[in-house]
Protein backbone atom coordinates (compact mmCIF):
# COMPACT_ATOMS: atom_id res chain seq x y z
CA UNK A 1 0.00 0.00 0.00
CA UNK A 2 2.81 2.37 0.92
CA UNK A 3 4.49 1.48 -2.34
CA UNK A 4 1.47 2.57 -4.38
CA UNK A 5 1.25 5.91 -2.51
CA UNK A 6 4.84 6.63 -3.37
CA UNK A 7 4.18 5.81 -7.00
CA UNK A 8 1.24 8.30 -7.08
CA UNK A 9 3.36 11.01 -5.50
CA UNK A 10 6.15 10.38 -8.00
CA UNK A 11 3.61 10.49 -10.85
CA UNK A 12 2.23 13.86 -9.69
CA UNK A 13 5.72 15.27 -9.36
CA UNK A 14 6.53 14.02 -12.85
CA UNK A 15 3.39 15.67 -14.33
CA UNK A 16 4.17 19.00 -12.65
CA UNK A 17 7.76 18.84 -13.83
CA UNK A 18 6.62 18.01 -17.35
CA UNK A 19 4.22 20.94 -17.27
CA UNK A 20 7.00 23.26 -16.15
CA UNK A 21 9.21 21.97 -18.96
CA UNK A 22 6.41 22.61 -21.48
CA UNK A 23 5.97 26.19 -20.25
CA UNK A 24 9.72 26.81 -20.37
CA UNK A 25 9.87 25.19 -23.78
CA UNK A 26 7.10 27.45 -25.08
CA UNK A 27 8.90 30.53 -23.78
CA UNK A 28 12.16 29.33 -25.37
CA UNK A 29 10.35 28.45 -28.58
CA UNK A 30 8.68 31.86 -28.64
CA UNK A 31 11.98 33.57 -27.90
CA UNK A 32 13.57 31.66 -30.73
CA UNK A 33 10.97 32.95 -33.15
CA UNK A 34 10.81 36.48 -31.85
CA UNK A 35 13.21 39.15 -30.82
CA UNK A 36 12.53 41.22 -27.73
CA UNK A 37 13.70 44.18 -25.75
CA UNK A 38 13.22 45.50 -22.25
CA UNK A 39 10.93 48.51 -21.85
CA UNK A 40 10.05 50.39 -18.72
CA UNK A 41 6.48 50.48 -17.41
CA UNK A 42 5.64 54.16 -17.22
CA UNK A 43 2.81 56.66 -16.87
CA UNK A 44 1.36 57.91 -20.14
CA UNK A 45 -1.93 58.63 -21.94
CA UNK A 46 -3.63 55.64 -23.54
CA UNK A 47 -6.45 56.02 -26.01
CA UNK A 48 -8.37 53.69 -28.27
CA UNK A 49 -9.57 55.04 -31.61
CA UNK A 50 -11.43 53.84 -34.66
CA UNK A 51 -10.90 55.24 -38.14
CA UNK A 52 -13.84 55.70 -40.50
CA UNK A 53 -14.61 57.65 -43.65
CA UNK A 54 -17.22 60.36 -44.04
CA UNK A 55 -18.60 63.12 -46.23
CA UNK A 56 -18.96 66.86 -45.57
CA UNK A 57 -22.60 67.95 -45.40
CA UNK A 58 -24.18 71.34 -44.64
CA UNK A 59 -26.04 71.64 -41.34
CA UNK A 60 -28.93 73.26 -43.21
CA UNK A 61 -29.96 72.59 -46.80
CA UNK A 62 -33.21 73.87 -48.32
CA UNK A 63 -34.86 73.28 -51.68
CA UNK A 64 -37.19 76.19 -52.44
CA UNK A 65 -40.26 76.22 -54.66
CA UNK A 66 -42.89 78.89 -55.35
CA UNK A 67 -46.21 78.47 -53.57
CA UNK A 68 -48.11 79.81 -56.61
CA UNK A 69 -47.84 78.97 -60.29
CA UNK A 70 -46.82 81.67 -62.77
CA UNK A 71 -44.18 82.97 -65.13
CA UNK A 72 -40.80 83.87 -63.67
CA UNK A 73 -40.46 87.65 -63.87
CA UNK A 74 -37.03 88.14 -62.27
CA UNK A 75 -34.17 86.17 -60.70
CA UNK A 76 -31.90 88.01 -58.27
CA UNK A 77 -29.16 85.40 -57.69
CA UNK A 78 -26.85 82.97 -59.45
CA UNK A 79 -25.25 79.70 -58.31
CA UNK A 80 -22.43 80.44 -55.86
CA UNK A 81 -23.92 83.72 -54.60
CA UNK A 82 -24.02 84.31 -50.85
CA UNK A 83 -27.47 85.21 -49.53
CA UNK A 84 -28.98 86.40 -46.26
CA UNK A 85 -32.09 85.14 -44.52
CA UNK A 86 -35.12 87.01 -45.91
CA UNK A 87 -33.34 88.03 -49.13
CA UNK A 88 -35.42 87.88 -52.33
CA UNK A 89 -34.15 85.23 -54.74
CA UNK A 90 -36.78 85.33 -57.50
CA UNK A 91 -40.32 86.53 -58.21
CA UNK A 92 -43.17 85.51 -60.53
CA UNK A 93 -45.11 87.90 -62.71
CA UNK A 94 -47.01 90.06 -60.22
CA UNK A 95 -49.37 92.05 -62.45
CA UNK A 96 -52.60 90.40 -61.25
CA UNK A 97 -51.45 90.18 -57.63
CA UNK A 98 -50.32 93.82 -57.55
CA UNK A 99 -53.69 94.95 -58.92
CA UNK A 100 -55.49 92.93 -56.24
CA UNK A 101 -53.32 94.43 -53.49
CA UNK A 102 -53.88 97.94 -54.87
CA UNK A 103 -57.64 97.42 -55.02
CA UNK A 104 -57.70 96.06 -51.47
CA UNK A 105 -55.69 99.05 -50.23
CA UNK A 106 -58.07 101.44 -52.02
CA UNK A 107 -61.08 99.71 -50.45
CA UNK A 108 -59.48 100.03 -47.02
CA UNK A 109 -58.82 103.74 -47.53
CA UNK A 110 -62.45 104.29 -48.67
CA UNK A 111 -63.77 102.41 -45.63
CA UNK A 112 -61.50 104.44 -43.32
CA UNK A 113 -62.76 107.67 -44.86
CA UNK A 114 -66.36 106.46 -44.51
CA UNK A 115 -65.76 105.69 -40.84
CA UNK A 116 -64.38 109.18 -40.20
CA UNK A 117 -67.47 110.68 -41.80
CA UNK A 118 -69.84 108.38 -39.89
CA UNK A 119 -68.08 109.15 -36.59
CA UNK A 120 -68.35 112.88 -37.31
CA UNK A 121 -72.08 112.52 -37.99
CA UNK A 122 -72.56 110.52 -34.77
CA UNK A 123 -70.71 113.18 -32.78
CA UNK A 124 -72.87 115.90 -34.34
CA UNK A 125 -76.13 114.06 -33.54
CA UNK A 126 -75.06 113.48 -29.93
CA UNK A 127 -74.25 117.17 -29.53
CA UNK A 128 -77.64 118.13 -30.95
CA UNK A 129 -79.41 115.83 -28.47
CA UNK A 130 -77.54 117.48 -25.59
CA UNK A 131 -78.64 120.93 -26.81
CA UNK A 132 -82.26 119.80 -27.04
CA UNK A 133 -82.16 118.37 -23.54
CA UNK A 134 -80.57 121.55 -22.14
CA UNK A 135 -83.22 123.79 -23.78
CA UNK A 136 -86.03 121.62 -22.39
CA UNK A 137 -87.47 120.67 -25.74
CA UNK A 138 -90.46 118.36 -25.90
CA UNK A 139 -90.03 114.68 -25.18
CA UNK A 140 -91.06 113.85 -28.75
CA UNK A 141 -88.34 116.10 -30.19
CA UNK A 142 -85.71 114.53 -27.92
CA UNK A 143 -86.88 110.98 -28.79
CA UNK A 144 -86.62 111.76 -32.51
CA UNK A 145 -83.08 112.98 -31.95
CA UNK A 146 -82.20 109.79 -30.04
CA UNK A 147 -83.42 107.79 -33.06
CA UNK A 148 -81.09 109.85 -35.23
CA UNK A 149 -78.20 108.96 -32.91
CA UNK A 150 -79.01 105.23 -33.20
CA UNK A 151 -79.02 105.55 -36.96
CA UNK A 152 -75.66 107.36 -36.91
CA UNK A 153 -74.23 104.68 -34.59
CA UNK A 154 -75.43 101.99 -37.01
CA UNK A 155 -73.62 103.80 -39.83
CA UNK A 156 -70.41 103.81 -37.74
CA UNK A 157 -70.77 100.06 -37.09
CA UNK A 158 -71.24 99.43 -40.81
CA UNK A 159 -68.10 101.40 -41.69
CA UNK A 160 -66.10 99.56 -39.01
CA UNK A 161 -67.25 96.26 -40.52
CA UNK A 162 -66.17 97.50 -43.94
CA UNK A 163 -62.73 98.34 -42.53
CA UNK A 164 -62.38 94.89 -40.96
CA UNK A 165 -63.28 93.24 -44.27
CA UNK A 166 -60.97 95.54 -46.24
CA UNK A 167 -58.10 94.74 -43.89
CA UNK A 168 -58.77 90.99 -44.19
CA UNK A 169 -58.88 91.28 -47.99
CA UNK A 170 -55.65 93.28 -48.02
CA UNK A 171 -53.94 90.70 -45.78
CA UNK A 172 -55.13 87.89 -48.03
CA UNK A 173 -53.90 89.52 -51.22
CA UNK A 174 -50.61 90.50 -49.58
CA UNK A 175 -50.15 86.86 -48.53
CA UNK A 176 -50.90 85.77 -52.08
CA UNK A 177 -48.40 88.33 -53.33
CA UNK A 178 -45.74 86.92 -50.96
CA UNK A 179 -46.33 83.45 -52.41
CA UNK A 180 -45.02 84.59 -55.77
CA UNK A 181 -41.80 85.79 -54.12
CA UNK A 182 -39.04 83.33 -53.28
CA UNK A 183 -37.11 84.31 -50.14
CA UNK A 184 -34.10 82.59 -48.56
CA UNK A 185 -34.95 81.24 -45.08
CA UNK A 186 -31.27 81.02 -44.06
CA UNK A 187 -27.90 82.69 -44.45
CA UNK A 188 -26.00 80.63 -46.96
CA UNK A 189 -24.97 80.01 -50.53
CA UNK A 190 -27.01 79.25 -53.67
CA UNK A 191 -26.12 75.76 -54.92
CA UNK A 192 -28.73 75.25 -57.65
CA UNK A 193 -30.93 77.41 -59.91
CA UNK A 194 -33.46 75.45 -61.93
CA UNK A 195 -35.50 78.33 -63.38
CA UNK A 196 -35.07 80.98 -66.05
CA UNK A 197 -36.92 84.27 -66.66
CA UNK A 198 -40.05 83.66 -68.73
CA UNK A 199 -40.45 80.01 -67.73
CA UNK A 200 -43.46 78.78 -65.78
CA UNK A 201 -42.67 77.75 -62.21
CA UNK A 202 -44.82 76.44 -59.37
CA UNK A 203 -45.06 74.33 -56.20
CA UNK A 204 -44.22 70.99 -57.81
CA UNK A 205 -40.56 71.64 -58.69
CA UNK A 206 -37.52 73.04 -56.85
CA UNK A 207 -36.62 76.47 -58.18
CA UNK A 208 -33.54 77.34 -56.11
CA UNK A 209 -31.47 75.43 -53.52
CA UNK A 210 -29.53 77.06 -50.66
CA UNK A 211 -27.12 75.55 -48.13
CA UNK A 212 -25.75 77.04 -44.92
CA UNK A 213 -22.29 78.39 -45.71
CA UNK A 214 -20.64 78.68 -42.30
CA UNK A 215 -21.91 75.62 -40.50
CA UNK A 216 -21.07 72.11 -41.68
CA UNK A 217 -21.02 68.57 -40.37
CA UNK A 218 -19.37 65.30 -41.33
CA UNK A 219 -21.61 62.31 -41.92
CA UNK A 220 -19.59 59.17 -41.14
CA UNK A 221 -20.43 55.48 -41.61
CA UNK A 222 -19.72 53.22 -38.62
CA UNK A 223 -19.58 49.45 -39.12
CA UNK A 224 -21.53 46.96 -37.02
CA UNK A 225 -18.28 45.84 -35.44
CA UNK A 226 -17.47 49.30 -34.05
CA UNK A 227 -20.88 50.88 -33.47
CA UNK A 228 -21.15 49.67 -29.87
CA UNK A 229 -18.03 51.72 -29.02
CA UNK A 230 -19.25 55.03 -30.49
CA UNK A 231 -21.35 57.44 -28.44
CA UNK A 232 -22.41 61.07 -28.71
CA UNK A 233 -19.89 63.41 -27.10
CA UNK A 234 -16.78 61.41 -27.98
CA UNK A 235 -13.88 63.43 -29.35
CA UNK A 236 -12.69 63.08 -32.92
CA UNK A 237 -10.07 64.38 -35.31
CA UNK A 238 -10.94 64.99 -38.95
CA UNK A 239 -8.72 65.38 -42.00
CA UNK A 240 -10.02 66.20 -45.46
CA UNK A 241 -8.76 64.65 -48.69
CA UNK A 242 -8.96 68.01 -50.46
CA UNK A 243 -6.92 69.87 -47.81
CA UNK A 244 -3.24 69.73 -46.83
CA UNK A 245 -2.22 66.59 -44.94
CA UNK A 246 -1.22 68.52 -41.81
CA UNK A 247 -4.55 70.38 -41.64
CA UNK A 248 -6.91 68.70 -39.17
CA UNK A 249 -10.17 69.69 -37.48
CA UNK A 250 -10.99 68.96 -33.84
CA UNK A 251 -14.56 67.74 -33.51
CA UNK A 252 -16.88 65.49 -31.55
CA UNK A 253 -19.67 63.03 -32.26
CA UNK A 254 -23.01 64.85 -32.09
CA UNK A 255 -25.39 61.97 -32.74
CA UNK A 256 -25.51 58.33 -33.83
CA UNK A 257 -28.47 56.94 -35.77
CA UNK A 258 -30.11 54.09 -33.82
CA UNK A 259 -31.15 52.30 -37.03
CA UNK A 260 -28.80 50.79 -39.57
CA UNK A 261 -28.65 51.68 -43.25
CA UNK A 262 -27.30 49.75 -46.22
CA UNK A 263 -24.14 51.04 -47.90
CA UNK A 264 -22.71 49.01 -50.80
CA UNK A 265 -24.47 45.95 -49.44
CA UNK A 266 -23.08 46.39 -45.91
CA UNK A 267 -24.90 47.42 -42.74
CA UNK A 268 -23.61 50.72 -41.36
CA UNK A 269 -24.73 53.29 -38.82
CA UNK A 270 -24.58 57.01 -39.53
CA UNK A 271 -22.82 59.32 -37.07
CA UNK A 272 -22.82 63.11 -37.31
CA UNK A 273 -19.84 65.24 -36.28
CA UNK A 274 -20.05 69.05 -36.26
CA UNK A 275 -17.13 70.96 -37.74
CA UNK A 276 -18.45 74.53 -38.06
CA UNK A 277 -16.88 76.67 -40.77
CA UNK A 278 -14.49 74.78 -43.02
CA UNK A 279 -11.41 75.81 -44.98
CA UNK A 280 -11.69 77.07 -48.53
CA UNK A 281 -10.01 73.85 -49.68
CA UNK A 282 -13.05 71.82 -48.64
CA UNK A 283 -16.51 71.85 -50.17
CA UNK A 284 -19.79 70.08 -49.37
CA UNK A 285 -19.52 66.53 -50.68
CA UNK A 286 -15.77 66.31 -50.03
CA UNK A 287 -14.42 63.11 -48.45
CA UNK A 288 -13.29 63.17 -44.82
CA UNK A 289 -11.11 60.83 -42.76
CA UNK A 290 -12.38 60.59 -39.18
CA UNK A 291 -10.55 59.27 -36.13
CA UNK A 292 -12.94 58.83 -33.19
CA UNK A 293 -11.57 58.44 -29.67
CA UNK A 294 -13.75 55.73 -28.15
CA UNK A 295 -11.81 55.32 -24.87
CA UNK A 296 -9.08 57.38 -23.24
CA UNK A 297 -7.10 57.20 -20.00
CA UNK A 298 -4.88 60.06 -18.88
CA UNK A 299 -1.55 59.53 -17.09
CA UNK A 300 -1.95 55.81 -16.38
CA UNK A 301 0.65 53.04 -16.02
CA UNK A 302 1.17 51.37 -19.38
CA UNK A 303 3.37 48.92 -21.27
CA UNK A 304 3.47 48.00 -24.97
CA UNK A 305 0.67 45.63 -26.00
CA UNK A 306 3.48 43.46 -27.42
CA UNK A 307 4.53 42.75 -23.82
CA UNK A 308 1.28 40.99 -22.96
CA UNK A 309 1.09 37.19 -22.85
CA UNK A 310 -2.51 35.94 -22.86
CA UNK A 311 -3.53 32.57 -21.43
CA UNK A 312 -7.06 31.51 -20.57
CA UNK A 313 -8.33 35.11 -20.64
CA UNK A 314 -5.58 36.14 -18.21
CA UNK A 315 -2.67 38.41 -18.98
CA UNK A 316 0.97 38.04 -17.94
CA UNK A 317 4.22 39.91 -18.54
CA UNK A 318 7.85 38.90 -18.18
CA UNK A 319 9.74 41.32 -15.95
CA UNK A 320 13.47 41.66 -15.52
CA UNK A 321 14.64 39.84 -12.40
CA UNK A 322 18.20 40.44 -11.22
CA UNK A 323 18.62 36.95 -9.74
CA UNK A 324 16.72 34.72 -12.13
CA UNK A 325 16.85 36.82 -15.31
CA UNK A 326 13.10 36.81 -16.08
CA UNK A 327 10.06 36.49 -13.85
CA UNK A 328 6.45 36.09 -14.93
CA UNK A 329 3.82 38.34 -13.32
CA UNK A 330 0.09 38.34 -13.82
CA UNK A 331 -1.36 41.79 -14.62
CA UNK A 332 -4.81 43.27 -14.85
CA UNK A 333 -5.20 45.08 -18.17
CA UNK A 334 -7.42 48.11 -18.88
CA UNK A 335 -7.81 49.50 -22.38
CA UNK A 336 -5.43 48.58 -25.16
CA UNK A 337 -4.73 51.71 -27.12
CA UNK A 338 -4.58 52.07 -30.88
CA UNK A 339 -1.00 53.36 -30.65
CA UNK A 340 0.24 50.03 -29.26
CA UNK A 341 0.19 50.80 -25.52
CA UNK A 342 -1.88 48.89 -22.95
CA UNK A 343 -3.13 50.25 -19.64
CA UNK A 344 -1.96 48.25 -16.62
CA UNK A 345 -4.36 48.45 -13.67
CA UNK A 346 -2.40 46.21 -11.30
CA UNK A 347 0.32 43.58 -11.16
CA UNK A 348 3.49 45.61 -11.73
CA UNK A 349 4.88 48.94 -10.54
CA UNK A 350 6.04 52.00 -12.40
CA UNK A 351 9.68 51.66 -13.45
CA UNK A 352 9.72 47.87 -13.72
CA UNK A 353 11.29 46.62 -16.93
CA UNK A 354 9.20 44.21 -18.97
CA UNK A 355 9.91 42.20 -22.09
CA UNK A 356 8.38 43.57 -25.27
CA UNK A 357 8.25 41.06 -28.10
CA UNK A 358 8.41 41.94 -31.78
CA UNK A 359 7.59 39.30 -34.35
Residue 309: count other Cβ atoms within 10 Å of its Cβ: 17
**Euclidean distance between CA atoms 46 and 132, whole angstroms:** 102
Q: How far is CA 310 from the centre of its chain?
A: 42
Q: How far is CA 236 from the centre of its chain?
A: 15
- Between the two ends of the chain, the Cα-to-Cα distance in Å is 53
Tell me which CATH code domain 50-60+212-295 carries: 2.40.30.170
pLDDT tens for each residue of the chain, 359 residues long: 444 444 545 555 554 444 544 444 454 444 444 567 888 999 999 999 999 988 888 888 899 999 888 899 999 999 989 899 999 999 988 776 667 777 878 888 888 887 888 788 888 878 877 877 777 777 777 777 788 888 878 888 888 888 888 888 877 777 777 788 899 998 888 989 999 999 999 899 999 999 887 678 899 989 888 888 898 999 998 888 878 877 888 888 989 988 888 877 788 899 999 887 766 777 778 888 999 999 999 999 999 999 899 998 899 999 988 767 788 999 999 999 888 999 999 999 999 899 988 75
Q: How far is CA 148 from the centre of its chain?
A: 69
Q: Are strands 287-304 and 235-240 parallel, antiparallel or unpaired?
A: antiparallel
Say if CB 155 and CB 111 are below 8 A apart: no
**Euclidean distance between CA atoms 192 and 87, whole angstroms:** 16
**Euclidean distance between CA atoms 186 and 210, whole angstroms:** 8
Q: How far is CA 182 from the centre of its chain?
A: 26
Q: Hey, which CATH number is domain 63-93+183-211, 3.30.2090.10, 2.30.30.180, 2.40.50.100, 3.40.50.300?
A: 2.40.50.100
Domain ranges for the chain: 50-60+212-295, 63-93+183-211, 95-179
Q: Strand, coil or helix: what is 328?
A: strand
Amino acid sequence: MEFFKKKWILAIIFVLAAGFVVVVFRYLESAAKASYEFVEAKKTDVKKTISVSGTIKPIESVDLAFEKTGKVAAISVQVGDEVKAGQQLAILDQTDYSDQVSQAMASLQIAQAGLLQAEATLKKEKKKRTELENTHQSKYTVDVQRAQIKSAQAAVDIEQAKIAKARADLKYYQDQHEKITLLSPIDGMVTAKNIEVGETAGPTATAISVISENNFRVEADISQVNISEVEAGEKAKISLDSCPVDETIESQVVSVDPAETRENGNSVYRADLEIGKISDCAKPGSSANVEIVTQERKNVLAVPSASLIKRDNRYFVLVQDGERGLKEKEVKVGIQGSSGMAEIISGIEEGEKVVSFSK
